[in-house]
């Protein structure tokens, strides 16, 4: 029985389809069916749309949620930005009946209605809270002897804080715990909670400034001598992967740290091959990492 619709967003299907494959494979192993959210659009990112017209932003976002509601599902996001947008839009409309009525007048014109009877979940938050560390450990067939730099990302933490989640009260460790459930070691490093640099449209508008932030994180990760970076957001993934090559080119650096989405790391620990999880499709080489796992 399905309980979740998989919201892919824009970056994963267009740039990193391995993240979609890894999510579906790992959830299948956990006996969780993911419905395809047919007809879904961009979330859309609030940095542009909401800045110009909040009603339009809410209408587009709530349409995606309404598609999932028709399937009687919660929405599962694999991207921090999508999570932030859809959760904020859904929560805003649930709390403001008048605004919900206004948005629904727009949606009814295209055959949809936002009811507000389902939630928006992030893959990391869902795995930690609904599946649990012990259940995930039970599914590990190939523990990973890896040193990992965990990157939480801004738009995973902020919505949880606004929701008053206990996950972000005091020391934040839930993502690290999920990584360590695979057998890997989450290595502490300086400025761990720093932004990847790409959010809010900055990567497009001021690329060099964003790369300086990325370079700072890469420097700290390299100092910690990690085997790979693990994120939970395709856009952060893009910034650390393709952005790593941009950093090398612009600033004459020589970083070569493989980048994985958490579902790919989990898939490896569950016994899936790197090819099945699309890990070799990154811009930054993962060959040494894959060899280390095989050895």
> pLDDT tens across 58-113, in order?
999 999 999 999 999 999 999 999 999 999 999 999 999 999 999 999 999 999 99
pTM given for the model:
0.96
Nearest to 114 by CA among 71, 59, 74, 73: 59
pLDDT reported for residue 275: 96
Q: Count Cβ atoms below 10 Å from residue 168 Cβ, excluding itself.
A: 18
Any idea which residue has 């403001």 for tokens? 96
Domain 132-294 indexed as CATH 3.40.50.11810: yes
Return the SS3 of 122.
Answer: strand
- Give every residue of the chain whose pLDDT is below 50, as ranges: 1
Give pLDDT, residue 215.
96
E strand or H helix that includes residue 260: strand 259-261
Which residues lie closer than 8 Å to 83 by C-beta, 6 or more apart? 77, 120, 121, 122, 155, 156, 159
Q: Domain 4-122 carries which CATH code?
A: 1.20.1050.140
Whole-angstrom CA distances from 89 to 19, 142, 154 are 25, 39, 17
Range list for CATH 1.20.1050.140 in the chain: 4-122
**Strands ordered across the beta sheet of 4-7:** 34-36, 4-7, 74-77, 120-122
How confident is the model at residue 1, as a pLDDT? 44
Distances (CA, A) of 204 to 140, 155, 210: 39, 18, 9
Find out whether 116 and 166 touch, Cβ atoms under 8 Å: no
Peptide bond into 59 cis (omega under 30): no
Tell me where in the chain the CATH 3.40.50.11810 domain(s) lie. 132-294
């Amino acid at each position: 029985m399905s309980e979740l619709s998989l919201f892919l967003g824009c970056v994963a299907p267009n740039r990193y389809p391995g993240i979609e494959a890894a999510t579906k494979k790992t959830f299948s192993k956990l006996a969780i069916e993911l419905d395809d959210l047919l007809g879904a659009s961009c979330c859309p990112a609030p940095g542009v749309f909401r800045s110009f017209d909040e009603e339009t932003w809410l209408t587009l976002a709530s349409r995606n949620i309404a598609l999932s509601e028709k399937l009687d599902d919660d929405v599962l996001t694999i991207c921090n930005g999508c999570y932030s947008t859809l959760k904020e839009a859904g929560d805003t409309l649930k709390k403001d009946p008048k605004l919900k009525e206004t948005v629904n007048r727009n949606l009814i014109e295209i055959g949809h209605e936002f009811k507000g009877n389902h939630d928006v979940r992030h893959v990391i938050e869902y795995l930690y809270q609904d599946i649990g560390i012990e259940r995930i450990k039970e599914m590990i067939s190939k523990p990973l002897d890896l040193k990992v730099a965990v990157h939480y990302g801004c738009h995973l933490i902020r919505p949880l804080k606004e929701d008053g989640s206990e996950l972000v009260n005091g020391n934040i460790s839930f993502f690290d715990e999920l990584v360590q459930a695979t057998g890997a070691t989450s290595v502490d490093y300086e400025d761990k909670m720093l932004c990847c640099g790409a959010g809010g449209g900055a990567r497009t508008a001021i690329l060099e400034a964003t790369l300086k932030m990325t370079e700072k994180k890469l420097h700290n990760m390299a100092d910690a001598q990690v085997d790979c970076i693990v994120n939970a957001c395709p856009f952060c993934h893009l910034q650390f992967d393709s952005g790593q090559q941009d950093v090398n080119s612009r600033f004459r650096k020589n970083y070569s740290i493989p980048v994985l989405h958490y579902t790919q790391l989990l898939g490896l620990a569950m016994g899936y091959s790197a090819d099945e999880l699309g890990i070799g499709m990154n811009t930054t080489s993962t060959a040494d990492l894959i060899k280390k796992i095989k050895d």
